[in-house]
Amino acid sequence: MNDFPSFPPRFVFGAATAAFQIEGATGEDGRGLSIWDTFARRPGAVLGGDTGDVACDHYHRYRDDIALLKELGVRSYRFSVSWPRVQPTGAGPANTAGLDFYERVVDGLLEAGIEPAVTLYHWDLPQALEEQGGWRHRDTAYRFADYARLVADRLADRVPRWITLNEPWCSAFLGYGNGLHAPGAREGTPALAAAHHLLVAHGLSVPVLREAGAREVGITLNLDHVVPATGAPDDVAAALRAETQRNLLWTEPLFKGRYPDSEDDTWEELIRRQLFRRSGDLDIISAPLDFLGINYYTPSVVRNAPHREPDPLARTADDNRFEGVGMPEARHTAVGWPVAPHTLHELLVSLGRRYGDALPPVYLTENGSAEDDVPASDGAVHDAERIAYLDGHLRAVAAAIADGVDVRGYYVWSLLDNFEWAYGYSKRFGLVYVDYATQRRVPKDSFHWYRALISART
Ligand code: FCB
């Protein structure tokens, strides 16, 4: 008899994916190029030179994948729409074939009794927009609102839950700060402009989604639980700089309509050079939301460090005087992330404390672990460590609910093994193993465990 953590009756169990990571078919039915198509072709950018050209071939196999979701028993499935499939150059009328694909997915889910949850932007910016400046450029925010309208006009009558952006921190600071993600730029002020324009894009699209009939509108942030390495004042200040960049830069404008007080200390010179924030923007950004999506994987332990680049004019926006020290005592997943589920409980409780009534209901929109999965001689994938990871984090969510945080649901990352960005196909996060040579799907032990957890409640 399994001893599962317990949740309120209406709690939503789900699973998540993202377009570029699973769809493949990058050249089909009029899809335009995305920044990830371009970035993946840059030598050395993605491990093994992997691309999204085929991925999990979900574009052709979505019916099988919906059948897997049905077998899993999830109430909701979070997936993303590829902007360049819908608007190949990021502007102008919709590519009907692109919208048709997502309509087939939505209708397939509804037929299977699964609620669709759509993310509009999970990092695949149309390449044509990047060539005009990408997120450094304010116009991209207006383009995003137009794109949101095209998708919502087609699907909002059937999709109850909408997520504007996935993890804008990654788009701004991995995309334009340290260059580890597409478009691979290493910049200072432009990365901060990207952060701001992403927030404006989000804010502009909220009323658009509501007008089209979306019932629940939110944004997904990758909030961090930042722990100072020691109690020394320098380390505590470094932790605040990390928290400013990772969390407060996003949550303060969204929930308080202001930029964080600690910003000057975080960016010093960079902040003085910014010209991109306009009056009225914070009102746009702080449009009330129905929920906050949080993606959580691992905590950060940080200590004080000097700037890596002494010249303030040459400094990138991620260079703000802290460095990670790791958690040697914890187990580490296959991507090297320490496993510390109690930190998810702490994050949720501290958010609740900081924002009180200004914090909307929360969904964990991603949580999961990469493990070195290998099919065993019996053909199954015995991923006991993933089960322990999921169990620990679900218990942390249950504890936060017991402590009064309004968490409404939890989506496992991910349904399938998939293209893990700069790691290519080398890291497996799925509940379902994908044999990329044959595209055969093998539900792992964690799939059966999650299924049992869900069905034990119904
Ligand atoms: C998150 C991303 C998701 C996936 C997981 C492991 O940052 O949103 O696409 O790559 O990490």
- Please provide the DSSP assignment of 179-231 as one string: -SSTT----SHHHHHHHHHHHHHHHHHHHHHHHTT-SEEEEEE----EEESSS
- 6 part of a folded domain: no
- 5 part of a folded domain: no
Structural domain span for residue 69: 12-455
Distance from C-alpha of 277 to C-alpha of 219, rounded to nearest angstrom: 20
- pLDDT band of residue 154 (cuts 50, 70, 90) is very high
Structure-token pair, residue 203: 């804010």
- 1 part of a folded domain: no
**Position in ligand 1 atom list of the atom nearest CA 21:** 9
Find tokens 């087939």 and name the residue.
Answer: 104
pLDDT number for residue 170: 98
**CATH number of the domain that 20 lies in?**
3.20.20.80
- 84 part of a folded domain: yes
pLDDT number for residue 339: 98
Q: How far is the CA of 422 from the centre of ligand 1 (A)?
A: 11
Residues 6+ apart with CB under 8 A from 197: 135, 136, 137, 138, 140, 141, 276
pLDDT number for residue 346: 98
User: How far apart are the two ends of the chain, measured CA to CA in Å?
Assistant: 16
Position 1 pLDDT exceeds 60:
no
- Which residue among the candidates 23, 115, 130, 167 is catalytic per the annotation? 167
Pocket test for ligand 1, best of 219, 220, 295 (most atoms within 8 A of CB): 295
Distance from C-alpha of 117 to C-alpha of 214, rounded to nearest angstrom: 11
Structure-token pair, residue 287: 């449009």
Asked if residue 298 has its Cβ within 6 Å of ligand 1, the reply is no
pLDDT in tens, 83-121: 999 999 999 999 999 999 999 999 999 999 999 999 999
Mean pLDDT along residues 344-367:
98
Rounded to a whole number of angstroms, the CA Rg of the chain reads 21
- pLDDT band of residue 271 (cuts 50, 70, 90) is confident
Strands (E), 319-400: 322-324, 362-366
Find tokens 């923007």 and name the residue.
Answer: 281
C-alpha dist (Å) from residue 416 to 62, 89, 151, 406, 431: 12, 29, 24, 28, 6
Strands (E), 247-340: 291-295, 300-304, 322-324
pLDDT number for residue 268: 81
Q: Any alpha helices (H) in 212-341, and if so which ranges?
A: 233-243, 249-256, 263-267, 269-272, 281-285
Total number of domains constituting the chain: 1
Residues 6+ apart with CB under 8 A from 228: 235, 236, 238, 239, 301, 302, 303
167 is catalytic: yes
For atom 4 of ligand 1, the residue with the nearest CA is: 420
Q: How far is the CA of 138 from the centre of ligand 1 (A)?
A: 25
Distance from C-alpha of 9 to C-alpha of 15, rounded to nearest angstrom: 18
Asked if residue 421 has its Cβ within 6 Å of ligand 1, the reply is yes
Average pLDDT over the chain, rounded to whole?
A: 97
Distance from C-alpha of 146 to C-alpha of 1, rounded to nearest angstrom: 51
- 391 part of a folded domain: yes
131 is catalytic: no
Asked if residue 276 has its Cβ within 6 Å of ligand 1, the reply is no
- 439 part of a folded domain: yes
Structure-token pair, residue 166: 């996935």
Mean pLDDT along residues 66-80:
99
- 320 part of a folded domain: yes
- 2 part of a folded domain: no
Instruction: Confirm whether pTM is higher than 0.85.
Output: yes
**Position in ligand 1 atom list of the atom nearest CA 427:** 6
